[in-house]
């Protein structure tokens, strides 16, 4: 649901640009509003999750997300779109950080990568279905009804989470699945997280900077791919939108297999490989012309490795900073993620308006993905930060 809403904006963008008469820069600014709020609230919801549990946080913020999606369907200029995106961003801030922290608390070190990969498959299903359904809804009812449908999804998710979600296995008298002796060192009592030790780690900042760079890169692709293929390559809108479904559905096996491999091959090296493949696909996408078969192949490769990036970062946080601090660490890194997505969306839109082509926007994205690899390789976070007593 959350990622269906997040990425539906990029799928709907060509139709919204035509009806609202906004520029690519203004379209990028609307999306930047989403990530401005997302980045600001991510550390707040991360800390709230560590202190009061994911159940209340997720349910409440899903309601906010639904309200923002409903408002997006009512906009008539980019300024009201920016406001609606801000509200969506507030709600969406609780649909990643608290969730990965919650999953990290339910699974031991040797099961965590696989569990987070399974979680990520939900992104692929939600986003992939949207790439197929949205063009049909737009053709029959217009883009505004897509946002009304997405709002209903978010409100339904709020109800489901409020009724069924449990914040940690201890609430049911259980231990995390796959619990081993390796997990004992990562256990702390609530309210005793050593924040000072976390922020003193150089690796914490280097991985956070890498998170910024890969977010900057990937959200250029996720926002502007449909517009590039439809408006610049003159490929039919329905076909251009289906490319994003290719990205999403290829992300399901990628998100399941690659994070599981990171349980055995190591988080750091696996992250570097994923980000390097993404860098390659981003520059390839705007270098092959309008050959649809080649574009589909690149989209599939991008989706498989893109989807694996985020659960591995999340597992890395829980491995090295303890599972009880995972929400806080991922929340702090998500500030960089939000800033990267926000600036990438706006800068790429401006570059496209100035150059009249998306080529340089995607080239910039590829360079930023390459930078994220370099930052991962120079980071040397080898041990968990010790918890204070």
Task: Give the pLDDT confidence of 348-373 residue by residue, as tens digits.
Answer: 999 999 999 999 999 999 999 999 99
Asked if 108 and 117 count as a contact pair (C-beta separation under 8 A), the reply is no
pLDDT, residue 150, reads: 93
Distance CA 133, CA 383 (A): 46
* Predicted local distance difference test score (pLDDT) of residue 296: 94
Distance from CA of residue 372 to its chain's centroid? Answer: 16
Domains and CATH numbers, the chain: 2-166+196-378 (1.20.1250.20)
Q: Provide mean pLDDT across the span 330-344.
A: 83
Buried residues in 316-343 as b, exposed as e (16+ CB within 10 A):
bbbbbbbbbbbbbbbbbbbbbbbbbbbb
Shortest CA distance to 93 belongs to which of 128, 144, 46?
46
pTM of the model: 0.72
How far is it, in rounded angstroms, from Cα 79 to Cα 27?
10
Which has more pLDDT, 63 or 317?
63
Query: Which tokens is 217 given?
Result: 């890169």
Q: How far is CA 67 from the centre of its chain?
A: 20
Report pLDDT for 387. 41
Query: Considering the chain, what is the average pLDDT of its residues?
Result: 84
**What are the Cα distances from residue 27, in Å, to 5, 226, 352?**
16, 13, 11
Half-sphere exposure at residue 59, Cβ-oriented, CA atoms within 13 angstroms: 14
């Amino acid at each position: 649901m959350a990622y269906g809403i997040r990425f539906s904006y990029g799928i709907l963008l060509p139709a919204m640009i035509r009806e609202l008469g906004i520029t690519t820069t203004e379209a990028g600014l609307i999306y930047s509003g989403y990530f401005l709020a997302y980045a600001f609230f991510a550390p707040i919801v991360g800390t709230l999750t560590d202190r009061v549990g994911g159940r209340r946080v997720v349910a409440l913020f899903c309601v906010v997300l639904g309200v923002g999606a409903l408002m997006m369907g009512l906009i008539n200029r980019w300024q009201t779109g920016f406001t609606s995106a801000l509200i969506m961003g507030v709600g969406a801030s609780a649909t990643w950080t608290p969730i990965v922290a919650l999953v990290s608390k339910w699974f031991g070190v040797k099961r965590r990568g696989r569990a987070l990969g399974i979680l990520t498959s939900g992104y692929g299903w939600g986003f992939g279905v949207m790439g197929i359904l949205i063009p049909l809804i737009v053709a029959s009812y217009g883009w505004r009804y897509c946002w009304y449908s997405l709002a209903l999804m978010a409100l339904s998710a709020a109800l489901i989470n409020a009724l069924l979600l449990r914040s940690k296995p201890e609430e049911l008298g259980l231990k995390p699945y796959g619990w081993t002796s390796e997990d004992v060192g990562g256990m702390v009592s609530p309210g005793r997280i050593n924040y000072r030790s976390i922020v003193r780690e150089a690796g914490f900042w280097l991985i956070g900077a890498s998170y910024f760079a890969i977010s900057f890169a990937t959200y250029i692709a996720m926002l502007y791919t449909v517009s590039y293929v439809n408006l610049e390559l003159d490929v039919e809108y329905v076909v251009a939108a289906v490319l994003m479904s290719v990205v999403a559905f290829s992300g399901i096996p990628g998100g399941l297999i690659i994070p599981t491999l990171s349980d055995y091959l190591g988080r750091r090296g696996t992250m570097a490989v994923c980000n390097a493949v993404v860098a390659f696909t981003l520059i390839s996408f705007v270098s092959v012309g309008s050959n649809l078969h080649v574009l589909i192949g690149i989209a599939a490769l991008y989706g498989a490795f893109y989807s694996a990036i985020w659960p591995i970062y999340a597992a890395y946080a829980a491995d090295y900073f303890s599972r009880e601090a995972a929400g806080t660490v991922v929340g702090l890194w998500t500030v960089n993620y939000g800033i990267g997505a926000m600036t990438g969306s706006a800068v790429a839109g401006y570059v496209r308006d100035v150059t009249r082509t998306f080529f340089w926007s995607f080239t910039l994205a590829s360079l930023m993905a390459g930078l994220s690899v370099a930052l991962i390789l120079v980071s040397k976070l080898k041990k968990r930060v010790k918890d204070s007593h």
